Amino acid sequence: MATGDVKIFNQVFSQITGIDVGKQSESWAASLWNVASRYVNAGVSAEEPYLYDLILSDEKAPQSYKDRFSAVTDLKKKNSKLKLTVADYIQQENQYKNLLTNAGLSDLADETNIKQFFLNEVSYDEAAKRINNAYKAIDNADEYTKSILDQRFGGLSKSDLARGLLTGKEGTDEIEKKVYGAQLLGAAKSAGITSSLTEQQLTSSGLSPTEAKKAFAAVAEQQDGIKQASRIFETRGAQDDIQAELEKQQLGIAPSKRVTGLASQARAEFSGSTGITTGSLSTRKSGQI
């Protein structure tokens, strides 16, 4: 066994992990060679980064080493979609630290928290997307959307929202849906409406927040007239769900023959009379009023 192999191994290990094998506080690192030498003797190059994964899976590896990179082992055991080598882990851990520090989340930028993010299957790239989404959500949100985001994530600052997104287990797609849902609920609030629809129904519309604001403005204009028409022309209590139908029609989720019929009845009955105004009974979609 060449003495040079030991030096190369230690140098590569230090480069990959940032751990100085010669430091007394990291004395466990020096014993890695005892395990690595068997693989090197079998033909694995001392410069091969994968060597450190072989060591990690070896029962004779130092416990401190196993503990340091336990997330790599745990992810592999549960067949996670996030697959990391020891080298990947160190690289992404360093990227994580820079990302979190620059985002004002330096209190999360330690090995323990980052390990938990990995165990939650949140890679560095995923974390960067979540933080970027948080910043965009705050930058673009109106006061109504901000109030909903505040309720959901416990804070209005970019760092508070980013913290809420990071420490959850949802993926970027799910988070984007939540932010989008908050934007549509905010659009309803901006029109003075408490929507009768579920968030899933709202997001199925596919409308942009700007389009949703126009649609809810139309709902706000028409709802009193439609409800009044329902009380006049339908049985008692039937108007309980009329707002939901009106919202679906204006948001383009589903046309409502009932809403259209009530508006037509009211216009025919009261056109030119006081009471229900025909302007409040237009059932054209927003933008067509």
For residue 72, is pLDDT > 80?
Answer: yes
Q: What are phi and psi of 150, to 5 degrees?
A: -60, -45
Give the pLDDT confidence of 141-191 residue by residue, as tens digits: 888 888 887 777 665 567 777 777 777 666 667 777 878 888 899 999 999
How does DSSP classify residue 285? Answer: P
For residue 285, is pLDDT > 60?
Answer: no
Q: Which two tokens stand for residue 216?
A: 């809810």
State the alpha helices, DSSP H only, in 51-155: 51-56, 63-68, 70-77, 86-102, 111-119, 124-140, 143-153
Report whether 169 contacts 120 (CB < 8 A): yes
Report whether 255 contacts 249 (CB < 8 A): yes
Residue holding tokens 């105004």? 277
Q: Which two tokens stand for residue 153?
A: 């994530």
Range with lowest mean pLDDT among 125-134, 144-153, 236-245:
236-245
For residue 280, is pLDDT > 70?
Answer: no
Report whether 49 contacts 87 (CB < 8 A): yes
Report whether 73 contacts 109 (CB < 8 A): no
C-alpha 16/C-alpha 223 separation (Å) is 64
| H helix or E strand, kind and range, residue 248 | helix 242-251
Domain parsing of the chain, residue ranges: 3-68, 89-190, 209-281
Across the chain, mean pLDDT equals: 82
Torsion from C-alpha of 53, 54, 58, 64, nearest 10 degrees: -30
How does DSSP classify residue 43? Answer: T
- CA dist 83 → 89, 123, 165 (Å): 9, 9, 22
Give the pLDDT confidence of 191-209 residue by residue, as tens digits: 998 888 988 899 999 999 8
R_g (Cα) of the chain, nearest Å? 30
C-alpha 277/C-alpha 259 separation (Å) is 15
C-alpha 162/C-alpha 167 separation (Å) is 9
C-alpha 138/C-alpha 109 separation (Å) is 22
Residue holding tokens 């980064």? 49
| pTM, rounded to two decimals | 0.62
**Cβ atoms within 10 Å of 63's Cβ, excluding its own:** 8
Report whether 9 contacts 51 (CB < 8 A): yes
